[in-house]
């Protein structure tokens, strides 16, 4: 979420000289000196800009022992004399996974957890009117006190998100509330007729004495003021003095998913003696929803089939050190396919990514990195006080930092924990209670892959299933779902992961099931897998949501499969986002009816060995016609899965042009490719 900072010079330029906001923000991403902690010789540091990770090359090349240790980031910072009397903070949006801050050689703070924001106040650590040294020592080593302990993804080290210097007055909205903006907009009751909201505001006062002030909340629809409320308050001399202001909106315009992701703008300001002390803005997307164990997910009173995907935060060459344009591209590709729900796995992701989810209207599952072994060794839970405290801290940070995002509808507690060894259930119950204490308005959920009492802790539950990939056949998914629903009709059931690997370089003209552990992951088996799995999922209304694993290929250094080591290739889109695999268009044809969709599958299988072929097209038209070298192979009706099929089509030896044409209310569309019969 973006915090709006009003700087005096800006106010003058806007003709608002009477406002003297005391908050200013400076981006500190440029010109850091980086070295590993073992590089103690002179001249070892090199210049880097943030975001940065030191694992972009080694982890993504499939190196099993990629660097997991300490990296040092150093920078000098001029602190002007005129800042004396103000408060100075360093805000890190993410550093993986332990960060220790030193200012002028003195330790100024530590944060444990690789995926949330954190803030250190440095007011008393700096020397005014001089250059000050900033050293951040970041460690991504395995640590049994910090989530996650294991994971089927890379634990990239570094300061991989933005860093800001924030300057405020001595009295203002707190920056020290678990890395959050200091404001939670609690939607106590929302209907189409009225919304009742309580703003919980954390205030900070470093003067040493109680301060009188006035707190204001304004809500805007664009530039139009919808409502405002204010109250005189007394601010205690502490960093987090909680104040509450309640207000209501009559006949609200609701945040309604992809149909209408409308948000109000909320302005929270603090005044004293007619002068503005501090001000921030937060989105307010009003909505109400629930999950029914028999009928699924309902948004604003209407059933909404959640057609979801999962997303990891990494890219080739740069690892997890993403820029804004990378998040924007990912969200746009999801929207292009017709996604309306996203599981941002397996950890809190960039603040900007949640902003984009709000704007697109995606229903989001946000989670902490409490991750079990899946099919691998070691455990995701150790029954120690330090580990459990860290998990609770990361959960509170997740909720406080992202509370005001209307897209977030579920808090995720765990993924693929096992019941071997230490029993995680009592701790899961503590986490579940903590989530409800922090946020009584949102349900909790988890992603399981095992049986046991851990499946009955959260408000909703989901399972990671790979029927037809890691053994079995896709039809097993439907049988398992029906059995589980019948045995436990009270459970709100979803599928949190399902997917199959595919390389765009692995092509075959017959459909043969892949061996997931092999170096051969043909694209057409992934396509067939998704067709058959979606058939099972789409026909069962009690499933509250399903989430493809994964939207994009991602890095996993230990993987030895597919077309190269170090990559999990279950994405519907390649790691570099350049190629959308055939299965992408299957979902687009099924999930979008607002644009014409016609896609002829198998276009990358340019060399064919079988003279008689079956051709498929994914389309949201009622029928399509196939042409081989200009001659019609007939029209085919589209089935319930939006597939048009032509069986026993004969190719000519040599070059063949394969073309499909569809006509209808959306106009005429075509798709074609060339293949060679050897």
Q: How far apart are CA 496 and CA 365, in angstroms?
A: 10
Q: Are residues 669 and 619 in the same domain?
A: yes
Q: Tokens standing for 361?
A: 């209207």
Residues with Cβ within 8 Å of residue 287, at least 6 apart in sequence: 187, 190, 254, 255, 256, 299, 300, 406
Position 666 scores a pLDDT of 85
Please give the residue that has the higher pLDDT: either 608 or 3: 608
* Beta partners for residue 24, in sequence order: 167
> 20 pLDDT band (50/70/90 cuts)?
very low
CB neighbourhood size of 50 (10 A): 24
Q: What is the mean pLDDT of residues 60-76?
A: 96
Answer yes or no: do 447 and 493 share one domain.
Answer: yes
- CA–CA separation, 471 and 480 (whole Å): 14
For residue 74, indicate whether it is catalytic: no
Residues 165 and 270 in one domain: no
Structure tokens, 456 = 């009955």
Q: Which is more confidently placed, 421 or 386?
A: 386
% of the chain surpassing 90 pLDDT: 94
Confidence of residue 409 (pLDDT cuts 50, 70, 90): very high
Could you say which DSSP state residue 454 is in?
G
- pLDDT for 338: 98
Comparing CA positions, the residue from 620, 624, 634, 635 lying closest to residue 666 is 620
Residues 389, 474, single domain; the answer is yes
Residue 270 lies in a domain: yes
Q: Do 385 and 293 fall into the same domain?
A: yes
* Domain finish residue from 284, 317, 349: 284
DSSP codes of every residue in 394-409: HHHHHHHHHTT-TTEE
Q: What is the pLDDT of residues 645-673, one digit of tens each?
A: 999 999 999 999 999 999 998 899 999 99
Q: What is the dihedral of CA 383, 389, 390, 391, to 10 degrees?
A: 70
Nearest 5°: phi and psi at 121?
-85, 130
Among candidates 455, 581, 587, which has minimal Cα distance to 507? 581
Half-sphere exposure of 26 (CA within 13 A, CB side): 11
pLDDT of 77 > 70? The answer is yes
Give the span between the Cα atoms of 406 and 190, in whole angstroms.
12
- Choose one of 258, 284, 310: the last residue of a domain: 284
Residues 148 and 194 occupy one common structural domain: no
Q: Is a pLDDT exceeding 80 seen at residue 21? A: no
- In the predicted model, is pLDDT for residue 129 greater than 50? yes
Domain boundary among 284, 299, 325: 284
Asked whether residue 416 falls in the same domain as residue 546, the answer is: yes
Average pLDDT of the segment spanning 137-146: 97
Look at residues 455, 451, 406, 452 and name the one whose alpha carbon lies nearest to residue 432.
455
Calculate helix-pair angle for 385-402, 351-360, nearest 10 degrees.
50
Q: Alpha-carbon distance 581 to 579, whole Å? A: 6
Candidates 426, 421, 445, 450; CA nearest to 435 is 445
Q: How many structural domains does the chain have?
A: 4
Residues 163 and 308 in one domain: no
What pLDDT score does 374 carry?
83
Instruction: Provide the CATH number for the domain around residue 471.
Output: 3.20.20.80
Residue 588 lies in a domain: no
Task: Decide if 402 is inside a domain.
Answer: yes
In a domain, 546, yes or no: yes
Residue 415 falls within a domain, yes or no?
Answer: yes
CATH code of the domain in which 115 resides: 2.60.120.260
Each residue's pLDDT tens digit, 261-281: 999 999 999 999 999 999 999
Claim to verify: residue 238 and residue 356 sit in the same structural domain: no
d(CA 553, CA 522): 15
Look at residue 595 and tell me if it is in a domain: no
CA distance 489 to 161: 43
Percent of the chain residues past pLDDT 70, beyond the cut: 97
Residue 535, domain member (yes or no): no
pLDDT in tens, 415-471: 999 998 899 999 999 999 999 999 999 999 999 999 999 999 999 999 999 999 999
Quick one: 236 and 295 in the same domain?
A: no
- H-helix or E-strand spanning residue 584: helix 582-591
b/e code 160-186 from CB counts within 10 Å (16+ = b)? bbbbbbbbbbbbbbbbbbbbbbbbbbb
> Pick the catalytic residue: 281, 351, 367, 416?
416
Q: CA–CA separation, 270 vs 233, rounded Å?
A: 10
Q: Which domain holds residue 442?
A: 289-499+542-552
- Give per-residue pLDDT as tens, 289-316: 999 999 999 999 999 999 999 999 999 9
- Whether 148 and 258 map to the same domain: the answer is no
- In a domain, residue 2? The reply is no
Q: Tell me whether residue 399 is exposed, middle or buried, using C-beta atoms within 10 angstroms of its C-beta: 0 to 12, 13 to 18, 19 or more.
A: buried
Residue 17 has pLDDT above 70, yes or no: no
Question: What pLDDT digit, counting tens, does each position of 189-214 carry?
Answer: 999 999 999 999 999 999 999 999 99
* Judgement on whether residues 209 and 72 belong to the same structural domain of the protein: no
Q: What is the pLDDT of residue 570?
A: 98
Domain containing residue 235: CATH number = 2.60.40.10
């Amino acid at each position: 979420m973006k915090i709006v900072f009003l700087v005096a010079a800006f106010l003058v330029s806007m003709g608002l000289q009477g406002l003297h906001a005391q908050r200013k923000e400076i981006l500190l991403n440029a010109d850091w000196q980086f070295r590993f902690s073992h590089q103690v010789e002179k001249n070892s540091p090199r210049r880097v800009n943030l975001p940065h990770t030191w694992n972009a090359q080694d982890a993504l090349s499939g190196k099993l022992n990629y660097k997991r240790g300490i990296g040092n980031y150093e920078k000098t910072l001029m602190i002007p004399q005129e800042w004396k009397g103000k408060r100075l903070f360093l805000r890190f949006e993410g550093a993986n996974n332990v960060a220790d801050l030193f200012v002028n050689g003195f330790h100024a703070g530590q944060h444990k957890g690789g995926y949330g924001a954190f803030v250190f106040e440095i007011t008393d650590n700096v020397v005014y009117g001089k250059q000050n040294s900033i050293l951040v020592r970041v460690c991504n080593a395995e640590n049994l006190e910090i989530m996650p302990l294991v994971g089927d993804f890379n634990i990239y080290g570094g300061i991989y998100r933005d860093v800001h210097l924030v300057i405020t007055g001595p009295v203002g909205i707190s920056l020290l509330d678990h890395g959050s903006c200091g404001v939670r907009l609690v939607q106590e009751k929302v209907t189409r007729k009225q919304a009742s909201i309580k703003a919980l505001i954390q205030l900070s006062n470093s003067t040493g004495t109680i301060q009188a002030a006035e707190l204001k909340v304004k809500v805007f629809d664009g530039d139009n003021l919808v409502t405002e409320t204010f109250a005189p308050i007394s601010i205690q001399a502490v960093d987090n003095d909680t104040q509450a202001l309640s207000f209501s909106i009559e006949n609200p315009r609701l945040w309604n998913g992809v149909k209408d992701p409308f948000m109000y703008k909320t302005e929270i300001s603090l005044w004293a003696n007619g002068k503005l002390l501090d001000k921030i803005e937060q989105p307010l997307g009003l909505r109400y929803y629930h999950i029914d164990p028999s009928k699924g997910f309902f948004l604003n009173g209407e059933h909404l089939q959640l057609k979801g995907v999962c997303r990891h935060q990494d890219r080739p060459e740069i690892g997890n050190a993403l820029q804004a344009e990378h998040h924007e591209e990912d969200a746009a590709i999801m929207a292009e396919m017709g996604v309306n729900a996203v599981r941002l796995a397996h950890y809190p992701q960039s603040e900007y990514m949640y902003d984009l989810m709000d704007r697109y209207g995606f229903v989001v599952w946000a989670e902490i990195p409490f991750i079990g072994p899946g099919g691998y060794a070691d455990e995701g839970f150790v029954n120690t006080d330090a580990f459990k405290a860290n998990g609770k801290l990361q959960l509170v940070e997740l909720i406080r930092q992202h509370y005001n995002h209307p897209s977030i509808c579920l808090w995720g507690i765990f993924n693929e924990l096992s019941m071997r060894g230490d029993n995680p259930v009592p701790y899961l119950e503590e986490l579940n209670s903590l989530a409800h204490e922090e946020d009584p308005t949102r349900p909790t959920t988890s992603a399981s892959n095992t049986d046991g009492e851990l499946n009955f802790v959260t408000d909703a539950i989901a399972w990671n299933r790979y029927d037809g990939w890691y053994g079995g056949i896709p039809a097993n998914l439907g049988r398992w779902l029906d059995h589980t629903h019948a045995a436990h009709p009270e459970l709100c059931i979803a599928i949190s992961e399902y997917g199959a690997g595919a390389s765009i370089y692995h092509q075959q003209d017959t459909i043969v099931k892949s061996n997931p552990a092999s170096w051969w992951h043909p694209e057409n088996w992934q396509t067939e897998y998704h067709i058959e799995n979606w058939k099972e999922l789409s026909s069962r209304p009690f499933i509250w949501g399903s989430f493809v694993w994964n939207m994009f290929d991602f890095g996993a250094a230990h993987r030895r499969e597919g077309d190269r080591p170090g990559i999990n290739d279950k994405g519907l889109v390649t790691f570099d986002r350049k190629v959308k695999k055939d299965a992408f268009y299957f979902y687009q044809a099924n999930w979008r009816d607002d644009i014409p969709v016609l896609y002829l599958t198998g276009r990358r299988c340019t060399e064919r060995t079988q003279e008689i072929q079956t051709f498929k097209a994914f389309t949201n038209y009622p029928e399509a016609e196939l042409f081989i070298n200009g001659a019609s192979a007939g029209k085919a009706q589209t089935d319930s899965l939006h597939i048009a099929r032509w069986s026993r089509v004969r190719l000519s030896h040599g070059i063949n042009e394969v073309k499909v044409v569809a006509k209808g209310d959306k106009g005429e569309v075509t798709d074609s490719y060339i293949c060679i019969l050897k």
